[in-house]
Chains A and B, each alone.
Chain A
Amino acid sequence: MKKHLAVLCLSVFILSLCTELSAASSRKKYFSKPQIGLWYGPVAPMYGTETADYLEPSLGGGAFFRYNLPIDSLKLGLDSSYQQYDSEGVNEIRLIPVYTNLLWLLPINLPIRVQLKGGAGFCKVRMEPDDINQWDPMFMAGAEISFPAGKLANIALRLDYLMIYEEYLEEGTDNGHFFNAGISLYFNLNL
């Protein structure tokens, strides 16, 4: 099953590189510009993971910048956000993830654009009242559905999964798993 999925993904990816075959070349023009944007929405510990056992959902927001790559359907993004989680008790966690990600525009001919993304970076983790304040490595994967609102702006729904990696640490047995959903507004730049 996994193999099939991988082959499918790879073939869609290769097809998307053949831009001349696509009817959506004009649509991609918007996509091929650098973009800067903001998002805001619910953030939560990932359902079913140990993180959800002790943290409660909250609201978060962030900003991002994206720049083109030589391959039209790919972009490189830099994201950061602020997320604060309370627990049932007095423990509290504040996260500031900073990561780069690769975005891939799916070659589907629809008025909306669907992008998949994956990336890695570092996350500033602050825990109270234990008074721990440090950077951890992190990974992310996500999807984004967007549509242009005029030539300048785009509106999108973004869904991200963030994994803050700590198992490599001595005595580390848990990682942090978070799910972010957000409504995002971003602008095409003429750089």
Chain B
Amino acid sequence: MKFGNIYLLLFAILLLIPGCGNEPVFTEMSTNRLKIVLKGTMESEGAGYLDTFSTPDRNGASVEDSINSNDSVDDVQAPSEDVYPSKLMLDIAEIRLGKQKISNYRQTFEIPLDETHPFFNGTGIELKTDDPGDGTYGAVKIYFRKMIFNSAKIFKSTGNGFIYKKDLSVIFHEETKKGFNFGGVMLNSYWDGLRIEADEIIRTYPMRIPIIGGLKYDRKNDETVLEIRLVIKNFIKKYEYDYYNDGVYEVIHYYAPSDWLRDVRAGEADIGRNLHTVARAYVPGKTASSVTVSAASGSYVIAIPESEDISDYYLTDNGKTIRDDVVGDFPQPPSYPGSYIEAVLEYYLKYEKYKNDWNTEQDSIEVEVASGCTGLFDKYEWYWDRYEGQVKGFGFGLKIPPYVGLSNGTVVFSNMAPGTYKFYQVDAPSYGELFLEGDFNGGTPTLIGGASVTVGAHSTVTVP
């Protein structure tokens, strides 16, 4: 081969290289344009538009005590050792946007249940992430390794009552802390494993959070904020967890998000789908300057995009009543205590009662008339399908409005993404509860001002 030929070949190879790109990759690596903030309030707005932290009486933390005799806390009621929790601990393993992994930084937070902490004062705590690719995203997934409230107490049976044993310990961030990891019981075991939703029963790993209005990520914007809210503030309830320890019956009192939506009953261990979450996205500098909404002081103002259906944001009745209406709500079998003769004898007694209760419940299905159903299983299915529909069991579940503020005569929404919104006034729910249909204008959700309102970038809007 001659010299000339080889140079021609080298030159030809270089010519094959297509034109250069125009994205500065190495600059992109060192910049962070997506900012994720995590808040523990239902309200999206900060100071002035937030409900104050209320700490219920240590034994009154169960929100249904007054209305429900079949509450989760049934074995040990009102012991003096119970203390309302003072700290929430979160251990986050991973964050994904749609299917795209955007963070695998392990992040742990110890958050005091305190008005002034950024998690509760409307500021939010920032999560470390990398940037996603350009695109539109409808959901964000947070993989919570652990979610812990402190102040979990163990009580043991003495045969004719319970005595306080000790505080429960848990490993958090490789350290032993006092508390209970309620993330581990955030599942629904009474769902039929053959149902298509069965793969979503564990709701905290990952916690799938809808981004209401969507996140349109564009690298050209210097910063895009994704605000994620977990309803924790004023939504904490006491639960009871039963088990046998070396043949001794013990119960744990622990705290977790309220079971207002999916009622947790005596003897039930699982509390799934009771952590409510929402996310919204905006680009700082491209939002409305201010949106001022007038509403009765002490009520809530909520705003949802025009395309959303308001009925996804409330229940027609509280979860306890909805579950009461289910015929075919079979009792839980007792758990086997191990090889301890007294406990096993007690187990067989409980098992006899369980069989009897089960048969009674089955008989009640047979006599009930479920619409269009004849067989026993058809009826059972019909009632639970209806239940799932009423507690918004499909898709993302009960939605939390992306914009929520507590009115002091008006609510001023800052950082509202441009779009057309529906504004509603809602009565403030009680501690540990969310919105019911009856809270909307006496049961008829009515738009403030009678129509949807379009909010533009840099605009100042007054509603109505």
Pick from A24-32, A106-114, A163-171 the stretch touching chain B: A163-171
CA distance A121 to B7 in the complex (A): 15
B137 smallest CB distance to A (angstroms): 12
Closest 6 CB pairs of A and B: A134-B21, A172-B24, A131-B133, A174-B26, A89-B130, A176-B26
For chain A, residues 55 to 94, give those with C-beta under 8 angstroms from any C-beta of chain B.
55, 67-70, 76, 78, 87-91, 93
The answer to the question of B131 belonging to the interface, with a C-beta cut-off of 8 Å to chain A, is: yes
CA distance A166 to B26 in the complex (A): 8
The answer to the question of B54 belonging to the interface, with a C-beta cut-off of 8 Å to chain A, is: no
Residue of B nearest to A189 (CB): B1
CA distance A137 to B30 in the complex (A): 20
Binary contact track B73-113/A, C-beta < 8 Å → 1, others 0:
00000000000000000000000000011111100000000
Binary contact track A132-145/B, C-beta < 8 Å → 1, others 0:
11111100000000
CA distance A93 to B29 in the complex (A): 9
CA distance A55 to B30 in the complex (A): 10
* Also in contact, A173 and B21, with CB within 8 A (given A76-B10, A98-B13, A129-B133): no
Residue of B nearest to A176 (CB): B26
Q: Which residues of the partner chain B approach A166 to less than 8 Å between Cβ atoms?
A: 24-27
The answer to the question of B18 belonging to the interface, with a C-beta cut-off of 8 Å to chain A, is: yes
Residue of B nearest to A68 (CB): B3
The answer to the question of A154 belonging to the interface, with a C-beta cut-off of 8 Å to chain B, is: no
Residue picked from A166, A170, A173, most chain B C-beta under 10 Å: A166
CA distance A122 to B105 in the complex (A): 33
In addition to A89-B104, A135-B20, 8 A-B residue pairs with Cβ atoms within 8 Å of each other are A69-B3, A90-B102, A98-B14, A122-B14, A122-B20, A133-B21, A169-B24, A170-B24
* Also in contact, A127 and B27, with CB within 8 A (given A91-B130, A98-B13): no
- Interface residue from B7, B18, B28 paired with A132 (Cβ < 8 Å): B28
The answer to the question of B23 belonging to the interface, with a C-beta cut-off of 8 Å to chain A, is: yes
The answer on a CB contact under 8 Å between B22 and A134 is: yes
Q: Which residues of the partner chain A approach B100 to less than 8 Å between Cβ atoms?
A: 129
- Interface residue from B27, B129, B130 paired with A171 (Cβ < 8 Å): B27
The answer on a CB contact under 8 Å between B104 and A135 is: no
The answer on a CB contact under 8 Å between B103 and A90 is: yes
* Also in contact, A53 and B30, with CB within 8 A (given A67-B6, A89-B105, A90-B130): yes
* Also in contact, A175 and B20, with CB within 8 A (given A78-B10, A89-B104): no
Q: Which residues of the partner chain B approach A87 to less than 8 Å between Cβ atoms?
A: 29, 130
Residue of A nearest to B217 (CB): A130
The answer to the question of B219 belonging to the interface, with a C-beta cut-off of 8 Å to chain A, is: yes
Binary contact track B19-56/A, C-beta < 8 Å → 1, others 0:
11111111111100000000000000000000000000
CA distance A169 to B23 in the complex (A): 7
The answer to the question of B367 belonging to the interface, with a C-beta cut-off of 8 Å to chain A, is: no
Q: Which residues of the partner chain B approach A134 to less than 8 Å between Cβ atoms?
A: 20-23, 25
* Also in contact, A132 and B25, with CB within 8 A (given A89-B103, A122-B20): yes
CA distance A89 to B96 in the complex (A): 12
The answer to the question of A19 belonging to the interface, with a C-beta cut-off of 8 Å to chain B, is: no
The answer to the question of B17 belonging to the interface, with a C-beta cut-off of 8 Å to chain A, is: yes
- Interface residue from B3, B17, B25, B129 paired with A176 (Cβ < 8 Å): B25
B372 smallest CB distance to A (angstroms): 48
Q: Which residues of the partner chain B approach A135 to less than 8 Å between Cβ atoms?
A: 17-21
Residue of A nearest to B22 (CB): A169
The answer to the question of A100 belonging to the interface, with a C-beta cut-off of 8 Å to chain B, is: yes
- Interface residue from B19, B29, B129 paired with A127 (Cβ < 8 Å): B29
- Interface residue from B18, B21, B101, B104 paired with A125 (Cβ < 8 Å): B21
Q: Which residues of the partner chain A approach B105 to less than 8 Å between Cβ atoms?
A: 88-89
* Also in contact, A129 and B130, with CB within 8 A (given A70-B3, A172-B27, A173-B27): yes
Q: Which residues of the partner chain A approach B101 to less than 8 Å between Cβ atoms?
A: 90, 129
CA distance A176 to B25 in the complex (A): 8
CA distance A137 to B17 in the complex (A): 10
B4 smallest CB distance to A (angstroms): 11
The answer to the question of A188 belonging to the interface, with a C-beta cut-off of 8 Å to chain B, is: no
The answer on a CB contact under 8 Å between A164 and B26 is: yes
* Also in contact, A100 and B27, with CB within 8 A (given A90-B101, A129-B102): no
For this complex, 30 residue pairs linking A to B, each with C-beta atoms less than 8 Å apart, are A50-B30, A53-B30, A68-B3, A87-B29, A89-B128, A89-B129, A90-B102, A90-B103, A93-B29, A100-B10, A121-B14, A125-B25, A127-B25, A129-B132, A130-B134, A132-B23, A132-B133, A135-B21, A136-B21, A137-B20, A164-B26, A166-B26, A169-B22, A169-B24, A170-B22, A172-B27, A173-B24, A174-B24, A174-B26, A176-B26
The answer to the question of A54 belonging to the interface, with a C-beta cut-off of 8 Å to chain B, is: yes
The answer to the question of A5 belonging to the interface, with a C-beta cut-off of 8 Å to chain B, is: no
CA distance A170 to B219 in the complex (A): 13
* Also in contact, A136 and B25, with CB within 8 A (given A89-B105, A130-B219): yes
CA distance A4 to B128 in the complex (A): 49
The answer on a CB contact under 8 Å between A54 and B3 is: no
Binary contact track B421-436/A, C-beta < 8 Å → 1, others 0:
0000000000000000
Q: Which residues of the partner chain A approach B27 to less than 8 Å between Cβ atoms?
A: 166, 169, 171-174
* Also in contact, A78 and B130, with CB within 8 A (given A90-B101, A134-B22, A169-B24): no
